[in-house]
Structure 1
């Protein structure tokens, strides 16, 4: 980045001396945010006013490295607490406008010394504000995506409950929709659990699945083949007519080692007999 603009040190001093004035103007500019300041502080321990002062100092100093680091930290904080992004956008644009008001006042005080260097100054100030915004939104989006993915993986793992009913038999009841992502979770968890728990018979109850896409059926059949390779017999219960019809039309069927029963109760009656 270019060197800080001429007289940046004096402008910084002027800003420090007029910090309260800056804050007052900022709050009058950020109409929708000012009433949310205490709420945001409570929710995410984010002090908007103090952070605004910090951002302005980074901008005046031309400290791009610290500015970007600060923006990344802010992005993570706002994503973590799911705070409305419209407030952040309004707040930063209000900081931009307020900073220019302070610069205008400073310029009047020093007999308009900034005028000759205005275009350089305008480029520096606005570029840094835009850099903060861009870095913030990228950080927010990236971290938010990772939170969503982690939450989804947690939910999907919880929705693949393998329940042991004795030392060699376990039940896997599937409920709700099954997509490609969930079948990947199924594959990993089933094969891992068979290896750890030495499951000899896995009762997979599909009565809670109304329908499955073609790719999901293909993947499920491969998972069942995988259980067979590990010495585990799979028992399928509760297949819905819609799923069966789709398998027939696709020409799919279970291999000879896979047993099918109409209901989970039938399987329990058979495999709970010691």
Structure 2
């Protein structure tokens, strides 16, 4: 993958105990993970036949860059972080095919004391996102963890939505923001779905959002962002450009709907998030 990169798909029926070894290839350049239902491979692979064929066709056209290893941090400070309240800014990130590598690159661009929580929807099967969060946590200054039901949001923390669950941001009677996780029906075949997260933020009156959409197939995020911008026109939308996308599906859907405020390569997304946060903080203080 360093010298002759090609699209690689991981097809696995690994259990949760083997999830870390299954996630590892995603950080070595593999572009997607497909889970086979447990049981005999010869029987259960028929269940995902159409999904697998579709992903293979998309993967054959995917743009794969040379693998660049990221060294894990030798030590990492744990900062004390307060729960955020209604009048705050939340950064959302949505990604699918090629997402783990894209998330890793963006996270390494962000400081530990980032003045916002990040809520990430990565299309991934149930049981693998905890290992994804743990690996990302070892490669950046941010605190990265799998989101938990009822957990309060904190600045400088990136929350990975658990596979198999939708995530919503809610406000309690004190004005603190917390997560609601549920297993309701998939949206456009996705659970978690970025649309569900963005629609939940549209309901919160005083919360501002910086929406980031990166590499992935499909159009998850378009409907949610339309609703979010309708309720909160000040929502800022950052989209990964085609030149760095492994699959230019989700970003293209946002651009086509004229919802993108900024279209930039992956290498500039971290600095763009920081700049957008400073701008929103300046307007609030002003």
Q: Same fold (TM over 0.5)?
A: no
Q: Which has the higher helix share?
A: 1
TM-score normalized with structure 1 length: 0.30
Larger Rg: 1
Greater RCO between the two (CA within 8 Å, min separation 6)? 2
